[in-house]
Structure 1
Amino acid sequence: MKPASLAQLKKELKHKSGDELEALVLRLTKHKTENKELLTYLLFEADDEAGFIAHIKEDIDHLFEEVNTNTMYFIKKGIRKILRTLKRYIRYSQNKETEVELLLYFCTKMAAFRPSVKENQAMVYVFEKQKEMIAKKIVSLHEDLQYDYSLELKQITL
């Protein structure tokens, strides 16, 4: 089955009533957790970006506490899982400032993580790539924010 284009979907949705739209959205949320999370963000958290950021930071803290530190394999696996989750939340927001703030927080937590990951080349690469991405995103922000975030980025090291 070939999915319809976005234009076709928009055109078809214009012909639906409010009740039909509600039923379609609810049915869509039943299929994937991501759909439900995105709808939750759009309905409840999109108006309060600062609250959303605080909530995500709490989640990151919790996830870093849960990382299995028995071997470096489990540490790598856990940190990559945290980064995947974080990227998903960033995708919901689509706000550059939120993205920079959350990635900076992730890098700060990763730098402070014990046992240290600086001996593992793969984790150092993940850390450096995130710092590069942050630097690219900072350029698109307001000048005052650029300065603040640049200072914070320079302070983060493994």
Structure 2
Amino acid sequence: MSIANYGLKEIKSELKHLSAAQIAEICLRMAKYKKENKELLAYLLFDADNESAFIESIKSEAGMMYSQLNSNSYQMAKGIRKILRFVNKHVKFAGSKQVEVELLLQFCRDYVDYVDRRANYKPLRQIILRQLTKLKTTINKLHEDLQFDYLQEYETLVLDADNKLSWVNKSEFLM
């Protein structure tokens, strides 16, 4: 016999019938069993109200992770994927396209600054190419005013990547 799966609609309607103390108890119990639930709850309680400080803390943490990368191409690719998972987890917590663009722009800037320009390891090269494509589509989903601001930063990033990394072709990524 398995536990029944309920949709968000049923869960939301059931939560409306509970008291604040019961909801707090349920949240704490969820946080106890999974690290990601605890991190999401901590974000919602402590960081959601100050998004700019949250973004800066994630940028600095990712920057520190970049500075500790191994010089071996295989190990470097593993480390960069770890940084990308870290960034994507926090993007998911924020749930905002603007935060996603900010953090991915910084991820790509750090990549261009820290990765060995002569690296010939294809998985290492593919990471930046996929993220530039993702950035391009995400910027297009933003409001027009934000698009204009981030588009300038994105194009500067692409030009910088094209100058520093031989495997980045600016014509593929410029809008």
Alignment TM-score, normalising by the size of structure 1: 0.91
Matches within 5 A, 1:40-59: 40-59=42-61
> One-letter code of the match for 2:23?
L
Q: How many residue pairs align between the two structures?
A: 157
* Equivalent residue, structure 1, for 2:149: 148
Distance 1:15 1:144 in 2: 42
Distance 2:84 2:108 in 1: 10
Mind listing any 5+ residue stretches in structure 2 that lack a counterpart? 166-175
Pairing 1:19–2:21 present: yes
* Equivalent residue, structure 2, for 1:83: 84
Matches within 5 A, 1:87-126: 87-116=88-117, 118-126=119-127
1:63 counterpart (62, 65, 76): 65
CA displacement 1:29-67 (0-9 Å, x = unmatched): 011111111111111111111111001101101111222
Q: Is the 8 A contact 2:62 2:107 kept in 1?
A: yes
Compare 60-69 and 104-113 and name the one that shifted more: 60-69
RMSD of aligned alpha carbons? 1.5
Alignment TM-score, normalising by the size of structure 2: 0.83
> One-letter code of the match for 2:94?
S
- Offset at residue 148 of structure 1 (A): 2.4
Compare 16-25 and 85-94 and name the one that shifted more: 16-25
- Offset at residue 3 of structure 1 (A): 2.3
Q: Is the 8 A contact 1:67 1:75 kept in 2?
A: yes
> One-letter code of the match for 1:50?
S
Q: Is the 8 A contact 1:117 1:124 kept in 2?
A: no
Distance 1:31 1:76 in 2: 31
CA displacement 1:1-40 (0-9 Å, x = unmatched): 2322212212221222221111110010011111111111
Name the CA shift for 1:3/1:117 in 2 (closer, same or farther; >3 Å): farther
Task: Classify the secondary structure of the residue corresponding to 1:3.
Answer: coil
Mind listing any 5+ residue stretches in structure 1 that lack a counterpart? none
Distance 1:89 1:97 in 2: 12
